Structure 1
Amino acid sequence: MDQQLHVFVTVAEKENFSRAAEELHMTQPAVSQYIQAFEREIGTRLLERSNKYVRLNKAGEIVYHHAKEILGLYTKMQRLVDDVTNKTSGPINIGASYTFGEYVLPHIIAKMLDQFPLVNPSITIGNTREIAELVLGHQMDVGIVEGDFKSNKLMIEPFAKDAMYIVMAPGHPLARTDRKIEAHELVEATWIVRENGSGTRDATEEMFRLLGIRPGKMMEFGSIQLIKESVEAGLGISLLSEWAIRKELSMEALKIVQVDGLPFTREFSIVTLSPYKTKALDTFLELVRENKMQPNLFGGRE
Structure 2
Amino acid sequence: MDQHLEVFIKVVEKENFSKAAEELHMTQPAVSQYIRLLEQSIGSRLLERNNKYVRLNKAGEIVFHHAKEIITLYTKMQTLVDDLTNKAGGTIAIGASYTFGEYILPHIIAKMKEQYPLIHPSIRIQNTKEIIDLVKKHQLDIGIIEGFYENAALNSKVVSKDKMVIVASPLHPLLSVKREIRISDLEEETWILREEGSGTREAAENLFRRYDFTPKNVMEFGSTQVIKESVEAGLGISLLSSWAIKKELTNGYIGIINVNGLPFKRNFSILTPATYQTKALQTFIEILLTYLSDPRKNRF
Q: Same fold (TM over 0.5)?
A: yes
Separation in 2, partners of 1:111, 1:261 = 35
Report the secondary structure of 2:265's partner residue: strand
What amino acid is the match of 1:18?
Answer: S
Tell me whether 170-179 or 112-121 shows the greater mean CA deviation: 170-179
Equivalent in the alignment of 1:170: 170
State whether residues 164 and 241 of structure 1, in contact with CA within 8 Å, keep that contact through their aligned partners in structure 2. yes
Equivalent in the alignment of 2:197: 197
Separation in 2, partners of 1:34, 1:88 = 33
State whether residues 153 and 274 of structure 2, in contact with CA within 8 Å, keep that contact through their aligned partners in structure 1. no
Matched, 1:220 2:257: no
Equivalent in the alignment of 1:99: 99
Matched, 1:236 2:246: no
Instruction: Give, in angstroms, the shift of residue 176 of structure 1.
Output: 4.1
Equivalent in the alignment of 2:53: 53
Separation in 2, partners of 1:152, 1:258 = 40
Separation in 2, partners of 1:55, 1:219 = 39
Equivalent in the alignment of 2:288: 288
Report the secondary structure of 1:218's partner residue: strand
Runs of 4+ in 1 over 4 A off after TM superposition: 293-298
Tell me whether 249-258 or 42-51 shows the greater mean CA deviation: 42-51
Separation in 2, partners of 1:225, 1:105 = 16
Equivalent in the alignment of 1:130: 130
Equivalent in the alignment of 2:80: 80
Tell me whether 77-86 or 229-238 shows the greater mean CA deviation: 229-238
Percent identity, aligned pairs only? Answer: 62
What do the CA deviations read for 1:19-62 (whole angstroms, capped 9, x no partner)?
Answer: 21222111222212211221122122212223332221221111
TM-score, normalisation: structure 1: 0.94
Instruction: Give, in angstroms, the shift of residue 146 of structure 1.
Output: 0.8
TM-score, normalisation: structure 2: 0.94
State whether residues 170 and 176 of structure 1, in contact with CA within 8 Å, keep that contact through their aligned partners in structure 2. no
Matched, 1:90 2:94: no
Matched, 1:273 2:273: yes
Separation in 1, partners of 2:191, 2:152 = 33
Report the secondary structure of 1:244's partner residue: coil
Matched ranges for 1:17-28 at <5 A: 17-28=17-28
Instruction: Give, in angstroms, the shift of residue 175 of structure 1.
Output: 3.1
Query: Per the alignment, do residues 75 and 172 of structure 1 end up closer, same or farther by CA in structure 2, a change over 3 Å counting?
Result: same
Query: Per the alignment, do residues 277 and 203 of structure 1 end up closer, same or farther by CA in structure 2, a change over 3 Å counting?
Result: same
Give the unaligned 5+ runs of structure 1. Answer: none
What amino acid is the match of 2:108?
Answer: I
Tell me whether 249-258 or 276-285 shows the greater mean CA deviation: 276-285
Report the secondary structure of 1:243's partner residue: coil
Instruction: Give, in angstroms, the shift of residue 116 of structure 1.
Output: 1.2
Count of aligned positions:
298
Matched ranges for 1:202-213 at <5 A: 202-213=202-213
State whether residues 175 and 258 of structure 2, in contact with CA within 8 Å, keep that contact through their aligned partners in structure 1. no
Equivalent in the alignment of 2:148: 148
State whether residues 162 and 293 of structure 1, in contact with CA within 8 Å, keep that contact through their aligned partners in structure 2. no
Report the secondary structure of 2:245's partner residue: helix
What amino acid is the match of 1:180?
Answer: E
What do the CA deviations read for 1:159-200 (whole angstroms, capped 9, x no partner)?
Answer: 111100111111234334333222222221111111221111
Separation in 2, partners of 1:2, 1:230 = 48
Instruction: Give, in angstroms, the shift of residue 293 of structure 1.
Output: 6.1
State whether residues 48 and 56 of structure 2, in contact with CA within 8 Å, keep that contact through their aligned partners in structure 1. yes
Tell me whether 204-213 or 32-41 shows the greater mean CA deviation: 32-41
What amino acid is the match of 1:186?
Answer: L
Instruction: Give, in angstroms, the shift of residue 296 of structure 1.
Output: 5.4
Separation in 2, partners of 1:293, 1:221 = 32
Tell me whether 211-220 or 168-177 shows the greater mean CA deviation: 168-177
Query: Per the alignment, do residues 188 and 293 of structure 1 end up closer, same or farther by CA in structure 2, a change over 3 Å counting?
Result: farther
Query: Per the alignment, do residues 297 and 159 of structure 1 end up closer, same or farther by CA in structure 2, a change over 3 Å counting?
Result: closer
Instruction: Give, in angstroms, the shift of residue 205 of structure 1.
Output: 0.5
CA RMSD of superposed structures (Å): 1.6
